[in-house]
């Protein structure tokens, strides 16, 4: 305690009057191994003493930083030490992009403990109205004859989407939350900013008739990716899940398919990683059309292996190039778009084909109990809701023929 004389009490150490309050310091070992003073401040001696005691405990426990980093410096540390070791590669790559393009250029120089709610709000407003073609110099990097925006004085107003802005705010909020946990800052200014929730766009998937036309066109053209299209449409698999399938995941005799991994291009590398969630990993029963398609795929791959000879790469992937290497996700997107055009059906995203899965299962006369497993419904009544809406008998007959006489599906 401090008497009327203002002297320090026993054990209080270096607590002294400072400006309109008090200050104290403790000798600590810094992260670089050197010794230095770490200061704490407060309006009252009691407040500073409490901080001083905590600082002493922290100094005994390990290294202590003696200065507050800028937001940019802290984000580098957070990405390296917190995010990269704990998150999946695609998540790390997404965070890195949002930090590099949308946070650091605007707030990176701000000292972490001086970042305010007003700073965060102003940043969000600025990002939402800033043309990223200008901000990132995209147009300036184009060939002179190809420049069409900022570099020639005609801004294209390529502002970030609401989803991107919300993602950047979420990354900043998470980083500042970690800084609070580490007691670098006392509050999270990004937590206090509210953004309006944009209306989610409702996908407009194919009808059963459109899906039939697409599959029939792929089959008639002997498209080597026809079996992949069957799995995406009939089983509702994601693109990465289909391209990540290996023959170890397929049991044609038992009519089962195990979903364990996915193929993704992340940061210039092709990664064969675990599925997004544990719920995504499952064993699915294979309807007859899927068994037929995968059988044809195995035969086509054996022919490709023989044709490639020594150039063949034994990757064990179900879907490969003519030399056995995995199919690039972007190339799959391009081939899907071309097939849509040639089949004369609406071009939709590969991901949106998942929404046609239930209707196709009903049209293929797949037993409701099997469909329930494929759709991952917890109650058969939910599955039967889908089965009450079936297409015309002619469409159903055409779909049932898809698995027969597949012919040569190429490499």
**Which pLDDT belongs to residue 381?**
80
In a domain, 203, yes or no: no
Does residue 197 lie within any of the structural domains? no
Task: Examine residue 187 and state whether it is found in any structural domain, yes or no.
Answer: yes
Confidence grade of residue 3 (pLDDT, cut at 50, 70, 90) = very low
The whole-number pLDDT of residue 11 equals 42
Could you tell me if residue 200 is inside a domain?
no
Q: What is the CATH number of the domain that holds 174?
A: 1.10.150.130
Quick one: which of 341, 337, 310 has its CA closest to 323?
A: 310
- Mean of all residue pLDDT scores within the chain: 85
Least confident of 23-37, 95-109, 187-201, 378-392: 378-392
Q: Give me the pLDDT at residue 32, please.
A: 67
Q: Are residues 26 and 156 in the same domain?
A: no
Assess contact for 53 and 15: CB atoms under 8 A: no
Most confident among 29-33, 138-142, 368-372 (mean pLDDT):
368-372
Same structural domain, 36 and 128: no
Higher-confidence residue: 384 or 176? 176
Q: Is residue 120 domain-shared with residue 50, that is, in the same domain?
A: no
More confident residue, 283 or 337: 337
Domain tally, the chain: 3
Asked whether residue 143 falls in the same domain as residue 268, the answer is no
Residues 165 and 103 occupy one common structural domain: yes
More confident residue, 114 or 410: 114
- Is the pLDDT at 315 greater than 50, yes or no? yes
In a shared domain, residues 55 and 118: no
pLDDT band of residue 10 (cuts 50, 70, 90) is very low
| 106 assigned to some structural domain | yes
Q: What is the pLDDT of residues 119-133, one digit of tens each?
A: 999 999 999 998 888
Looking at the fold, whether 324 and 378 belong to one and the same domain comes out as yes
Which pLDDT belongs to residue 396?
A: 67
* Average pLDDT rounded to a whole number, residues 1-18: 56
Stretch 344-368: mean pLDDT: 86
Mark which of 142, 164, 192 sits at the end of a domain.
192
Instruction: Please say which residue of 164, 192, 220 terminates a domain.
Output: 192
Range of the domain at 25: 15-61
- Top-confidence residue, 3 or 118: 118
Burial class (CB in 10 A: 0-12, 13-18, 19+), 74: buried
Answer left, alpha or beta for residue 137, where phi above 0 means left and psi between -120 and 50 means alpha: left
Q: Are 28 and 35 in contact, with CB atoms under 8 Å apart?
A: yes
Distance CA 295, CA 283 (A): 18
Using alpha carbons, select from 242, 262, 260, 247 the residue that is nearest to residue 353. 242
Specify the higher pLDDT residue, 280 or 3. Answer: 280
What contacts 397, CB < 8 A, 6 or more positions away?
A: none
Helices (H), 88-207: 89-98, 104-107, 117-129, 132-135, 162-181
298 in the same domain as 226: yes
Answer whether residue 79 shows pLDDT above 90: yes
Decide if 408 is inside a domain: no
Q: Over 70: is that where the pLDDT of 388 sits?
A: no
Residue 133 lies in a domain: yes
Does 135 share its domain with 173?
A: yes
Percent of the chain exceeding pLDDT 70 equals: 88
Asked if residue 119 and residue 23 are part of one domain, the reply reads no
* Same domain for 303 and 348: yes
pLDDT at position 140 is: 76
- pTM here? 0.69
Where does a domain end: 5, 26, 61?
A: 61
Q: Same domain for 179 and 148?
A: yes
Percent of the chain with pLDDT over 90: 46
3-state secondary structure of 186: coil
Q: Does the structure show a pLDDT above 60 at 12?
A: no
Q: Does 179 reside within a domain?
A: yes
């Amino acid at each position: 305690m401090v008497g009327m004389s203002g002297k320090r009490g026993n054990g209080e150490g270096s607590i002294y009057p400072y400006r309109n309050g008090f200050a104290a310091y403790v000798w600590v070992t810094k992260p670089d191994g050197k010794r230095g003073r770490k200061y704490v401040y407060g309006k009252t001696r009691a407040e500073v003493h409490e901080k001083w005691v905590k600082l002493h405990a922290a100094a005994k426990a390990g290294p202590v930083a003696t200065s507050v980093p800028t937001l940019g410096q802290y984000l580098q540390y957070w990405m390296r030490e917190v995010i990269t070791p704990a998150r999946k590669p695609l998540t790390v790559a997404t965070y890195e992009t949002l930090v590099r393009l949308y946070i650091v250029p605007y707030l990176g120089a701000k000292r972490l403990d001086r970042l305010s709610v007003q700073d965060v709000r102003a940043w969000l407003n600025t990002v939402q109205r800033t043309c990223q073609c200008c901000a990132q110099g995209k147009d300036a990097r184009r060939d002179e004859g190809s420049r069409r925006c900022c570099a020639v004085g005609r801004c294209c107003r390529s502002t970030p989407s609401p989803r991107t802005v919300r993602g950047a705010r979420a990354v900043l909020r998470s980083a500042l939350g970690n800084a609070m946990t580490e007691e670098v800052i006392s509050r999270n200014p990004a937590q206090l900013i509210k953004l309006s929730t944009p209306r989610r766009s409702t996908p407009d998937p194919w009808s059963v008739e459109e899906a039939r036309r697409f599959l029939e066109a792929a089959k008639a053209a002997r498209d080597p990716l026809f079996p992949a299209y069957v799995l995406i449409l009939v089983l509702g698999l994601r693109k990465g899940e289909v391209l990540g399938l290996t023959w170890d995941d397929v049991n044609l005799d038992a009519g089962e398919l195990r979903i364990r991994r996915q193929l993704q291009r992340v940061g210039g590398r092709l990664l064969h990683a675990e599925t997004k969630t544990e719920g995504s990993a499952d064993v699915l029963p294979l309807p007859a059309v899927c068994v037929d398609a995968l059988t044809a795929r195995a035969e086509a791959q054996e022919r490709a292996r023989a044709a490639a000879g020594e150039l063949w790469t034994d990757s064990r992937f179900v879907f490969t190039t003519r030399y056995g290497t995995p199919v690039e996700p972007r190339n799959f997107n391009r081939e899907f778009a071309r097939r849509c055009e040639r089949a004369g059906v609406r071009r939709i995203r590969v991901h949106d084909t998942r929404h046609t899965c239930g209707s196709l299962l009903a049209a293929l006369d797949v037993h409701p109990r099997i469909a329930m497993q494929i759709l991952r419904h917890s109650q058969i009544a939910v599955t039967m809701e889908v089965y009450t809406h079936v297409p015309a008998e002619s469409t159903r007959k055409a779909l049932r023929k898809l698995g027969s006489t597949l012919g040569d599906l190429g490499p």
